[in-house]
Amino acid sequence: MSENRIISIKDLYNIFKFKTTEEISVPEKISEQIIGQDKALDIIRKAAKQRRHVLLIGDPGTGKSMLAQALAEILSEDKEQVKNLEDILVFPNPNDEYQPIIKTFPMGTGKKIVEEMRRRVLEQTKMFRYFYILLLLISAFTPMYFYYAGNYIMAGATFIGFMILMASLSFSFQVVQKQIMKNIPKLLVDNSNRTSVPFVDATGAFEGMLFGDVLHDPFQSGGLETPAHQRVIAGAIHKANKGVLFIDEIGTLRPEVQIELLSVLQEKKYPIFGRSERSAGAMVRTTPAPADFVLVAAGNLETLEKLHPAFRSRIRGYGYEVFMNSEILFTEESANKFAQFVAQEVKKTDNIPHFTKEAVIEVIREAQRRSGRKSYLTLRLRDLGGLVRLAGDIAKAKGKKYVESEDVIEAREKALTIEEQLSKYYIEKKKEYQIIKTEGYEIGRVNGLAVIGSRLYYSGLVLPVEAEVVPGEGSKEIIATGNLGKIAKEAIVNVSAVIKKKFGEDLKKYKVHVQFLQTYEGVEGDSASITVATAIISALKNWPVRQDLAMTGSLSIRGEVLPVGGIIAKIEAAIESKLKEVIVPESNYNDIPEDLFDKIKITPVKTIDEVIEIATGKNI
């Protein structure tokens, strides 16, 4: 069997040779753990070789952060790059205390420099400490001498005097010590003992965390102030020097921050200064600190609208833009990769049992379902990893040695998205109040199918539609209610052209009302077109429609039934509602997994004529 041939769930029982995921070897390299993003991984390798910046755009949970870590891993394979890492120190400036000096040293030497200078300073203060201890002993024994000699006045006077002296000396010692210690540099970035280049995740970092900051000093005079260079804090851009800086949801950065980051990318260095105008640190600005990193920025499609044109231009001109895959063909190769993914999640979690072959197949079945098409598997693996961990927790709570398929099924029921929970709620309520009817015949009433939620998270829903057509001077267009969106309204208008073509009836002679029953969540898209057309034709011709039937499909003005999205979720909603048959576009027929055919009759159609014949038994 070719590894690139599209397969089915049933094929997996013969393809998988393992009994449990214990037998599956998990690669150590991050780059070999990434699934379904071969094109993106190839670009990451090129970016590592040429030190180019990368912008990753795609759905959440598709592996963007893993790709960024893989880039750092690939860079680290060049041991010369690791050896060339630098420690960053900040020194006091003898000419301008508000402009500390940034210096770099070979990896591992920065800490030694600071420790050596601290040792020298402690040597300088050693005699002063001895003198302080001597005075402390004198101040303790002198009052005692006068006390035992019977001279209580002198005992009290010397005690008070020595206490005042010791307080003064203590304060003086602190001042002197601070003055001496202020010459010790501060280690900003310590790369000692590193075996790989830095990888810094700055997702959600505010400006101070990203670019560095200078802390406020409450004691700004009197000898107790903290030297300016000791208050300098390195930013993520400096910690990532000669490594990788990863920023997810890059569009959340304000435009001015993006421009500041652009300056860093251009100059490869950036000074550190106080970010708050009310802070004493606002007066401090260091010399430029090195910030030569490879940027991996990430986000979703909406992120592109929020990127500053100059910032994006820099990446396009000196790097790569990558659109992440959100699904992958269901082949033998991808199935084996998904089995590896389950084994990886077990290893990462480290406290759940391994999965049996049947449990892995059930996980892949869910990946197929979430893709919305039989021939594909979803690559939103973070969400799928949550299912794996929950199934593991369930099996562990039951005291099982391995996770079985029934545990995965139970986990799926417990891990329903909000949209899926809402769908179940709506279906139960509509059935309870007989909004959804599952038997008999009615004129002008049709069970449509829709999805609730967004492109990323959605669930199927049975959507009853009613139509009334009465003689009289009608309006120029069909009146439709039910919180319809723009595309849904346009689809309804197109229905009149189909009816005129099929029946020679001009709907302008009638008053036509269409109602989507209790659609508080709103309706958008054109997948209800055949439902609306069937309801209007039923009302116009007084043809009863089967109520044990549901349908979905877009309708062209020529009467052709066109494909729609969310076909699996819609069929599942029909099954949940106890309907007996569902009409789908023939173009979607091959998207439907085999197991759904065992639960409901699925009838593919090409034209509205076929829809009407199945729904009403009439030929047009």
Active-site residues, by number, are 527, 570
Q: What share of the chain is helix, strand, coil (3-state, %, to 5)?
A: 50, 20, 35
Residues shown for the chain: 620
**Tokens in use for 177?**
């010590």
In 10 A of CB 498, how many CB atoms? 23
SS3 for 55? strand
Residue 234 zone, left/alpha/beta (φ > 0; ψ -120 to 50; rest): beta
Q: Is 544 exposed, middle or buried (0-12, 13-18, 19+ CB in 10 A)?
A: middle
In terms of Cα–Cα distance, which of 240, 355, 365, 250 is closest to 303?
Answer: 250
**Tokens in use for 52?**
């180019």
Q: What is the Cα–Cα distance from 599 to 489, expressed in whole angstroms?
A: 33
In terms of Cα–Cα distance, which of 311, 248, 296, 241 is closest to 47?
Answer: 296
Q: What is the Cα–Cα distance from 53 to 66, expressed in whole angstroms?
A: 16
Q: What is the Cα–Cα distance from 156 to 135, expressed in whole angstroms?
A: 17
In terms of Cα–Cα distance, which of 467, 471, 478, 470 is closest to 444?
Answer: 467
Q: Which residues contact 186 (CB under 8 A, 6 or more apart)?
A: 89, 90, 114, 229, 230, 232
In terms of Cα–Cα distance, which of 35, 19, 9 is closest to 345?
Answer: 35
Q: What is the Cα–Cα distance from 291 to 545, expressed in whole angstroms?
A: 70
Q: What is the Cα–Cα distance from 565 to 353, expressed in whole angstroms?
A: 36
Angle between helices 309-318 and 255-267 (to 10 degrees): 30
Q: What is the Cα–Cα distance from 237 to 259, expressed in whole angstroms?
A: 14
445 strand-pairing partners: 466
Question: What DSSP string describes 172-236?
Answer: HHHHHHHHHHTTS-EEEE--TT-SS--EEE-TT--HHHHH-EE---S--STT-PPPGGGGEE--H
